[in-house]
Chain A
Amino acid sequence: GQNIDQPTEMTATEGAIVQINCTYQTSGFNGLFWYQQHAGEAPTFLSYNVLDGLEEKGRFSSFLSRSKGYSYLLLKELQMKDSASYLCVIMDSNYQLIWGAGTKLIIKP
């Protein structure tokens, strides 16, 4: 079957670093996305990994290990506006997106 696991909720402090983990089991793999979604809004693209390793983009980095079925999103220098849900999404062998349930990140001052 297809399964994506990520924590339901995480809390972090403004200015700190937080890592959101995602493990997956899917039929085929054509890449992993991380999306950010603020309440009541559509998701916005953060990152795409298809090869193993770390992709860095400003304050956000995403890591992928295909052999372990594992990814993480690393957020540095947290800001209050980073409070949102973070969705781990797999593109399967048919190029369809399979969505994780999302991790609600709460940033405290």
Chain B
Amino acid sequence: GAVVSQHPSWVICKSGTSVKIECRSLDFQATTMFWYRQFPKQSLMLMATSNEGSKATYEQGVEKDKFLINHASLTLSTLTVTSAHPEDSSFYICSARERTDYEQYFGPGTRLTVT
């Protein structure tokens, strides 16, 4: 089956610093990648949708200048949390979809803790 990886799997950073999370589709071309955030005991919340080679579409309430998304190739998307604050601590999950496939394949997630 299709495999999506994320790196790092967990990260601890200090308030005010920036953190980059990578999402890679390992054995397929992901024309669309999705970034989700999940707080404890809550469902996944879609942050943004990115299509390869174009700007990401952010959901309402998600600051595009704070959460920078780059989808430069068909196998890689990155999410950069800029000037992180403790309230940004969360579980960030990416997923990817092939052009012809309805299913989204999820990465294992990245747990971010901002101290």
Contact = CB atoms under 8 A, between A and B. Distances in A.
B44 A99 contact: yes
A48 to B, nearest CB: 7
Interface string B38-61: 000011111001000000000000
A43 B106 contact: yes
Contacts of A101: 42-43
Interface of B: 34, 42-46, 49, 91, 93, 102-109, 111
B102 A43 contact: no
Q: Binding site of A, secondary structure by majority: helix, strand, loop or mixed?
A: loop
B93 to A, nearest CB: 5
Nearest to A100: B43
Interface residues of A, number: 19
Nearest to A43: B106
A97 B105 CA distance: 12
Nearest to A8: B41
B106 A91 contact: no
Contacts of B93: 42-43
B42 to A, nearest CB: 7
A42 B38 CA distance: 10
B43 A42 contact: no
A64 B111 CA distance: 34
A102 B43 contact: yes
A87 interface: yes
A95 B95 CA distance: 14
25 contacts: A30-B102, A33-B103, A40-B91, A40-B109, A40-B111, A41-B108, A41-B109, A42-B108, A42-B109, A43-B106, A44-B106, A45-B105, A48-B103, A87-B44, A91-B102, A95-B102, A96-B46, A97-B34, A97-B46, A97-B104, A99-B43, A99-B44, A99-B45, A99-B46, A101-B43
